[in-house]
């Protein structure tokens, strides 16, 4: 039976391959217990586990690490419950949320009324408003690599000049003025920016515009508008490029600075140089104002960026979870509430290790109130 | 494949083994002249072509599949065009000659494909210039020089290059090859920088995310493609010609130069064109290796930039707004037309040479 | 030549003369150059394989690697595996094959058995040639334009499979066509002589004769499309969970896992990326070996 032989061989091998891998599992429970010294918020809230088993969320890649930490805590608290997060970008997150495909949308910017996002979201939530909950805060670092220089301080104005090409040498008098005593080499500055569209770029440019005392003459936006340097794919690409070169500088989320063990510049907003870290960022977040109404916690970032209180590091990226205030089915609502509650309480302790800032206490309270109000 | 109602089954294997030189001992003689059961659709009419429903249906299926494939290529063009038109209508820049790409629908679309196109063609041609002589050498080595016995395993090794997924080429290029090439590119830049090709570009040489690196990786990816087809053509050099040259006392090289190369030239060029098509459309390797830039392309090997394919892939995760996506689809259409022309040209060259059949 | 005065001298110059130095030099130079190009081509292959194995092989030795997903692990935790991506890769490849192979075989049958030199056959041959040169990103964009914007389907593994179908059809058509051509006409004539209908001749005799070769071709084609990255980038989302449903939700695959985990710059991400690279190469190797194994076991000994 010649014609049967190849088929049976193929079948045999296919069966073998399946047998080999047929025991796959999603179960990765690790012996938990995070003993991080970071200042995690203290409030506790009762978590009502249950509801829909597999939540789906999609959106900003900037909050990917935080969501992973939340999912890990969620699985530990409510065993068998999970959430799949697709870090496909803020735009995708909003669109998928509005289309009712995902339960939670992740976005670097709140829903935009002018683009009709608010109305579409209300429609998705069966006529109820959607809320923007700023659950994840992460400082953005200005990382650099310069042989022989281990400490670098930048003012927002100087950063704006570097990233727009007005300062092109490391030994430029403007850099020297901010770093008295440091020996700066006569090297060209290679700016590395995000080549893809990104909320990080958007926030970074907004920061330069708000705090740069007019030195940033370009627009904000998801595309880098500085006009200098070379682009890299994703924050990872930026981090790779910074560490591969010499005389390089770029902006990346804190977690990437940690991962790649890069040096990050201190920011001097007028009242002394502040290091990149959870403390400085938490101090800055306190000065953030909520401009949304009720439980819709939209932040006024310009005030945050321009803050120059001592010890605060205002270059912070705030990302939102977009959820329905009402209009989920009962199962989904229960799971969404459980997940968000865990995220705002237990999930916070692992955040500093993942490069994010745990919520300040008063913010956590506001968030928990909002989460409780979801029906 | 079980069936009971036809002559086919017992007969087929026996028949199928016929041309194997009768080596199979189990080919029982009764097999071919199987039992024609009267009922099972075995007609005993005179040998006249009878179209049965089965034949009609089957033929319709095959013709349908053929038409489907032809329609497919048309559909690709049409759908890309349909999706691109609204964005092109909204475009505030000149699509074909604009050099800046802004596909963010906020604040208006203004996208021009020229720079992407230039980088695409430039890097592909650079890759081809490296890959062509090397592939020629390999194909000659495998067909003319390598010992007969080793030619096959050697050819298999070269084919392995084609089996490696392009994403792995990309990772290797970006993380291993790029740093290794850095001294070479720095040397070229310092000593031959007066030639525009080696002038200082927009990409930092120490990092190595340049068209130079990307082109070399692309060249490696082209080797198996160009080699495979060239090898086939060189193998078909009429032995009369080769023997004739040998009889006249030609050296190996003279045989190659006077018979193999002239005979295979068209096939080799066609193979190179196919390789060019492949290089133009390569996506992920280029995406991983090449740095992007906001400056215009300056025709230096040490520039960064984006090819059409890498630009699309870079933005793929943010395809939400149909008008923004439409801009990238328009660019994809340009790439489609470009590869279409290159491939059609390659096929046309080969089609003109009946001796390759 | 002069008339022979000295009988000891040969009547003509010797048949084999020394080749002069410049020709010999050119010949040797050409030999060295040609051999050199072969070595030059192998260098990147060896270098690349060593890199991948050195960086990734240690990670795939763990049993968890083949049995678990990355679910619930943060980008800083080692452990877990790529089962979810292996399943995705196999599933997408197989769905693609299920759709593409019948179409491709029918097209090849048309070309060899029905079309011959008709105009449609020429058009089909031309299209198949062009289709084989369509970049994968264009195929992905086409499916995006067709299924996602026009038909409103969500991004899904099925969309990926559809894009892969476009890439697989030309490969399978080509191999099948070549194989059907070498099926001896005597077989067909013998079948016709017995009054077997043409379609049955094709289905029961011609295709089975070529079947081992076709299966080889198909397994090579599957191996090829499983390594494609552009379609998964455009058409499906990444997830760390196991998903068996090709029509809904995100589904990981090895290339997608590599592009996603590349965004993690620490050792954990590196381990996942290079481990996945080794896994992908292993899977592709298995399919390739499978192809040659089948053809060796069952091939017809005719040329």
Per-residue pLDDT of chain B (357 residues; tens, 9 = 90+): 333 333 333 333 333 333 333 333 333 333 444 444 444 444 455 555 566 888 899 999 999 999 999 999 999 999 999 999 999 998 989 999 988 888 877 677 889 999 999 999 999 999 999 999 999 999 999 999 999 899 989 998 998 999 999 999 999 999 999 999 999 999 999 999 999 999 988 888 888 899 999 999 999 999 999 999 999 999 999 999 999 999 998 999 999 999 999 999 999 999 999 999 999 999 999 999 998 888 889 899 999 999 999 999 988 876 767 788 899 999 999 999 999 999 999 999 888 787 776
What's the confidence (pLDDT) of residue B9? Answer: 34
- CA B188/CA B213 separation, integer angstroms: 13
Query: Is residue B176 less than 8 Å (CB to CB) from chain A?
Result: no
How big is the B-C interface in CB pairs under 8 Å? 314
Contact A235, A252 (CB under 8 A): yes
Q: Is A307 annotated as a binding residue?
A: no
Nearest Cα residue to C226 out of C67, C87, C48, C69? C87
Pick the CATH number of A140-285 from 3.40.190.10, 2.60.120.10, 2.40.30.30, 1.20.20.10: 3.40.190.10
Contact B253, C26 (CB under 8 A): yes
Query: Is residue A101 less than 8 Å (CB to CB) from chain C?
Result: yes
Point out which residues pair with B111 in neighbouring strands: B101
Q: Is A107 annotated as a binding residue?
A: no
Helices (H), chain A: 4-21, 64-77, 90-98, 117-124, 156-163, 173-178, 199-211, 234-244, 254-260, 278-286, 301-306, 330-344, 361-373
Query: Is residue A354 less than 8 Å (CB to CB) from chain C?
Result: yes
Residues in chain C with CB shorter than 8 Å from the CB of A71 are 72
Task: Using CA coordinates, name the residue in chain A closest to C233.
Answer: A88
- Mean local confidence (pLDDT), A118-134: 91
- Mean local confidence (pLDDT), C191-199: 91
Residues in chain A with CB shorter than 8 Å from the CB of C242 are 24-26
Residues in chain C with CB shorter than 8 Å from the CB of B227 are 41
Residue B69 corresponds to which tokens in the numbers above? 């494939």
Query: Is residue C70 less than 8 Å (CB to CB) from chain A?
Result: yes
Residues in chain B with CB shorter than 8 Å from the CB of A197 are 104, 315, 318
Asked if the structure places residue B7 within a domain, the reply is no
Q: How far is B320 from chain A (nearest CA, A)?
A: 6
Residues 73-92, chain A, touching C (beta carbon < 8 A)? 75, 82, 84-88
User: What stretches of chain B adopt beta strand conformation (E)?
Assistant: 101-102, 110-111, 292-293
Tokens 């039976």 found at: A1
Helices (H) and strands (E) in chain A, counts: 13, 14
What's the confidence (pLDDT) of residue A10? Answer: 56
Residues in chain B with CB shorter than 8 Å from the CB of C18 are none
Contact B121, B280 (CB under 8 A): yes
Asked if the structure places residue B211 within a domain, the reply is yes
Contact C23 B68 (CB under 8 A): no
How big is the A-C interface in CB pairs under 8 Å? 137
Residues in chain B with CB shorter than 8 Å from the CB of C225 are none
Task: Provide long-range contacts, Cβ within 8 A and 24+ apart, for B46-55.
Answer: B47/C192, B47/C193, B50/C197, B52/C197, B52/C199, B54/C197, B54/C199, B54/C200, B55/C197, B55/C198, B55/C199
CATH class of A33-139+293-300+319-373: alpha beta
Q: How many CB atoms lie within 10 A of CB A184?
A: 17
What's the confidence (pLDDT) of residue A18? Answer: 55
- CA A354/CA C76 separation, integer angstroms: 8
What's the confidence (pLDDT) of residue A37? Answer: 42
Q: How far is A59 from chain B (nearest CA, A)?
A: 10
B17 contact partners, CB below 8 Å, separation of at least 6: A2, B24, B27
What's the confidence (pLDDT) of residue A85? Answer: 85
Query: Is residue C208 less than 8 Å (CB to CB) from chain A?
Result: yes
Residue A295 corresponds to which tokens in the numbers above? 């439980």
Task: Using CA coordinates, name the residue in chain C closest to B157.
Answer: C42
- For residue B247, CA distances in Å to B259, C21, C105, C124 come to 13, 20, 47, 44
Asked if the structure places residue B38 within a domain, the reply is no
Three-state DSSP class for A59?
Answer: strand
Contact C134 B339 (CB under 8 A): yes
Total tally of structural domains belonging to chain B: 1
- For residue B23, CA distances in Å to B27, C153, C189, C300 come to 9, 55, 22, 11
Asked if the structure places residue B28 within a domain, the reply is no
Contact B1 A2 (CB under 8 A): no
Contact A339, A55 (CB under 8 A): yes
- CA A363/CA A372 separation, integer angstroms: 14
Nearest Cα residue to A44 out of A322, A349, A279, A286? A349
Point out which residues pair with B324 in neighbouring strands: none
Query: Is residue C269 less than 8 Å (CB to CB) from chain A?
Result: yes
Chains that touch B (3 or more CB pairs under 8 A): A, C
Asked if the structure places residue B56 within a domain, the reply is no
User: Judging by beta carbons within 10 Å of its beta carbon (0-12, 13-18, 19+), is residue B48 exposed, middle or buried?
Assistant: exposed
What's the confidence (pLDDT) of residue B15? Answer: 35
pLDDT tens, residue by residue, C62-119: 888 998 888 777 777 888 899 999 999 999 999 999 999 999 999 999 999 998 889 9
Point out which residues pair with A169 in neighbouring strands: A188
Q: Is A90 annotated as a binding residue?
A: yes
Whether pLDDT at C193 is above 70: yes
pLDDT tens, residue by residue, A178-231: 998 888 999 999 999 988 778 889 889 999 998 888 899 888 888 888 888 898
Q: Is A312 annotated as a binding residue?
A: no
- For residue C262, CA distances in Å to A145, B318, C272 come to 21, 18, 8
Residues in chain B with CB shorter than 8 Å from the CB of C42 are 157-158
Task: Using CA coordinates, name the residue in chain B closest to C163.
Answer: B76
Asked if the structure places residue B342 within a domain, the reply is yes
Residues in chain A with CB shorter than 8 Å from the CB of C75 are 64-65, 68, 255, 354
Contact B291 A231 (CB under 8 A): yes
Tokens 């230039």 found at: B118
Tokens 């509801």 found at: A51
Nearest Cα residue to C180 out of B234, B205, B62, B53? B62
- CA A338/CA C85 separation, integer angstroms: 28
Q: Is A22 annotated as a binding residue?
A: no
User: Judging by beta carbons within 10 Å of its beta carbon (0-12, 13-18, 19+), is residue A334 exposed, middle or buried?
Assistant: middle
Tokens 């192979």 found at: C101
Contact C87 A24 (CB under 8 A): yes
Percentage of residues in chain A with pLDDT exceeding 70?
90
- CA B356/CA C224 separation, integer angstroms: 27
Q: Where in chain A is the domain with CATH 3.40.190.10?
A: 33-139+293-300+319-373, 140-285
- Closest CB to C263: pick one of A5, A6, A234: A234
Three-state DSSP class for B349?
Answer: helix
Task: Using CA coordinates, name the residue in chain C closest to B2.
Answer: C204
Helices (H), A36-79: 64-77
- Closest CB to B138: pick one of C38, C109, C127: C38
Interface mutation target, options C116, C121, C124, C142, chain B, most CBs of B under 10 Å: C142
The dihedral formed by the CA atoms of A145, A149, A153 and A155, expressed in degrees to the nearest 10: -60
- Closest CB to A69: pick one of C74, C249, C263: C74
Residue B288 corresponds to which tokens in the numbers above? 């991983």
Q: What is the ipTM of this complex?
A: 0.89
Percentage of residues in chain C with pLDDT exceeding 90?
62
Pairing of strands A104-107, A316-324: antiparallel
Alpha-carbon torsion (A275, A234, A232, B324), positive or negative: negative
- What's the domain range around B210? 101-356
- CA B298/CA A230 separation, integer angstroms: 14
CATH number of the domain bearing residue B145: 1.10.3720.10
Whether pLDDT at A21 is above 70: no
């Amino acid at each position: 039976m010649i014609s049967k032989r190849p088929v049976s061989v193929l079948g045999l091998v296919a069966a073998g391959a399946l047998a080999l891998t047929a025991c796959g599992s999603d179960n990765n429970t690790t012996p938990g217990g995070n003993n991080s010294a970071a200042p995690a918020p203290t409030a506790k809230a009762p978590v009502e586990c249950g509801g829909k088993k597999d939540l789906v969320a999609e959106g900003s890649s900037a909050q990917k690490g935080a969501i992973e930490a939340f999912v890990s805590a969620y699985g530990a608290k409510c065993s068998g419950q999970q959430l799949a997060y697709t870090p496909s970008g803020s735009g995708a997150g909003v669109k998928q949320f509005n289309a009712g495909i995902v339960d939670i949308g992740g976005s670097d910017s709140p829903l935009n009324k002018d683009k009709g996002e608010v109305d579409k979201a209300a429609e998705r939530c069966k006529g109820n408003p959607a809320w923007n909950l700023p659950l994840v805060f992460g400082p953005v670092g200005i990382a650099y690599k310069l042989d022989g220089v281990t400490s670098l301080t930048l003012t927002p104005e100087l950063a704006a000049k570097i990233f727009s090409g007005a300062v092109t040498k490391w030994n430029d008098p403007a850099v020297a003025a901010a770093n008295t005593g440091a020996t700066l080499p006569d090297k060209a500055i290679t700016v590395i920016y995000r080549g893809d569209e990104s909320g990080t770029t958007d926030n970074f440019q907004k920061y330069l515009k708000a705090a740069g005392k007019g030195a940033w003459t370009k627009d904000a936006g998801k595309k880098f508008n500085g006009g200098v340097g070379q682009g890299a794919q994703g924050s990872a690409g930026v981090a790779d490029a910074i560490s591969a070169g010499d005389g390089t500088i770029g902006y990346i989320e804190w977690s990437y600075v940690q991962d790649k063990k890069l040096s990050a510049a201190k920011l001097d907003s007028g009242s002394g140089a502040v290091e990149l870290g959870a403390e400085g960022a938490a101090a800055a977040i306190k000065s953030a104002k909520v401009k949304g109404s009720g439980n819709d916690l939209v932040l006024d970032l310009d005030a945050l960026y321009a803050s120059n209180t001592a010890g605060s590091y205002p270059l912070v990226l705030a990302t939102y979870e977009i959820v329905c205030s009402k209009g989920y089915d009962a199962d989904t609502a229960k799971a969404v509430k459980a997940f968000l509650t865990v995220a705002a309480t237990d999930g916070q302790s692992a955040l500093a290790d993942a490069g994010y800032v745990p919520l300040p206490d008063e913010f956590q309270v506001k968030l928990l109130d909002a989460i409780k109000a979801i029906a | 494949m079980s069936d009971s109602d036809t002559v086919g089954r017992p007969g087929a294997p026996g028949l199928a083994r016929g041309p194997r030189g009768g080596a199979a001992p189990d080919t029982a003689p009764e097999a071919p002249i199987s039992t024609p059961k009267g009922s099972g659709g075995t007609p005993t009419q005179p040998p006249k072509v009878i179209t049965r429903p089965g034949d009609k249906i089957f033929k319709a299926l095959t013709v349908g599949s053929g038409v489907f494939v032809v329609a497919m290529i048309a559909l690709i063009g049409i759908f890309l065009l349909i999706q691109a038109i609204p964005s092109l209508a909204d475009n505030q820049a000149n699509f074909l000659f604009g050099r800046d790409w802004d596909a963010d629908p906020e604040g208006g679309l203004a996208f021009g494909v020229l720079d992407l196109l230039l980088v695409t063609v430039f890097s592909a041609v650079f890759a081809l210039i490296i890959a062509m002589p090397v592939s020629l050498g390999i194909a000659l080595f495998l067909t003319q020089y390598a010992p007969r016995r080793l030619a096959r395993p050697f050819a298999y090794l070269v084919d392995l290059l084609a089996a490696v997924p392009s994403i792995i080429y990309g990772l290797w290029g970006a993380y291993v090859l790029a740093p290794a090439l850095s001294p070479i590119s720095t040397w070229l830049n310092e000593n031959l920088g007066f030639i525009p090709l080696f002038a200082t570009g927009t990409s930092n040489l120490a990092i190595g995310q340049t068209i130079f690196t990307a082109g070399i990786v692309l060249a490696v990816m082209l080797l198996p493609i160009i080699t495979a087809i060239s090898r086939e053509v060189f193998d078909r050099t009429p032995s009369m010609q080769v023997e004739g040259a040998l009889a006249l006392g030609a050296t190996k090289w003279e045989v190659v130069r006077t018979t193999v190369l002239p005979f295979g030239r068209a096939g080799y060029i066609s193979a190179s064109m196919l390789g060019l098509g492949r290089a133009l459309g390569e996506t992920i390797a280029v995406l991983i290796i090449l740095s992007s830039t906001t400056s215009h392309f300056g025709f230096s090997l040490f520039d960064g930039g984006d090819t059409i394919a890498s630009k699309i892939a870079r933005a793929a995760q943010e395809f939400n707004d149909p008008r923004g996506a439409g801009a990238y689809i328009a660019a994809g259409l340009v790439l489609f037309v470009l590869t279409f022309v290159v491939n059609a040209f390659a096929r046309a060259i080969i089609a003109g040479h009946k001796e390759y059949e | 030549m002069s008339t022979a005065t000295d009988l000891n001298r040969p009547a003509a110059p010797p048949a084999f003369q020394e080749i002069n130095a410049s020709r010999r030099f050119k010949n040797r130079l050409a030999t060295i150059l040609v051999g050199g190009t072969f070595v030059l081509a192998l260098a990147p292959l060896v270098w690349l394989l060593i890199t991948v194995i050195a960086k990734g092989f240690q990670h795939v030795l763990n049993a968890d690697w083949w049995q678990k997903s990355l679910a619930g692990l943060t980008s800083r935790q080692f452990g877990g595996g790529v089962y979810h991506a292996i399943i995705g890769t196999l599933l997408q490849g197989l769905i693609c094959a299920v759709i593409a192979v019948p179409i491709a075989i029918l097209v090849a049958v048309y070309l060899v058995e029905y079309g011959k030199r008709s105009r449609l056959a020429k058009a089909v041959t031309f299209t198949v040639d062009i289709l084989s040169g369509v970049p994968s990103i264009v195929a992905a964009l086409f499916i995006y334009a067709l299924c996602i914007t026009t038909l409103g389907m969500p991004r899904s593994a099925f969309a990926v499979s559809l894009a892969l179908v476009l890439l697989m059809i030309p490969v399978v058509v080509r191999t099948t066509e070549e194989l059907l051509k070498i099926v001896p006409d005597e077989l067909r004539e013998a079948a016709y002589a017995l009054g077997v209908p043409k379609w049955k001749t094709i289905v029961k005799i011609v295709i089975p004769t070529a079947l081992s070769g076709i299966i080889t071709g198909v397994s090579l084609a599957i191996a090829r499309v499983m390594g494609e990255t552009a379609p998964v980038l455009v058409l499906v989302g990444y997830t760390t969970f196991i998903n068996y449903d090709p029509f809904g939700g995100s589904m990981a695959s090895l290339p997608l896992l590599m592009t996603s985990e590349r965004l993690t710059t620490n050792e954990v991400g590196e381990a996942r990326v290079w481990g996945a690279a080794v896994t992908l190469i292993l899977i592709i190797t298995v399919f390739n070996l499978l192809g040659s194994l089948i053809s060796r076991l069952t091939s017809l000994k005719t040329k």
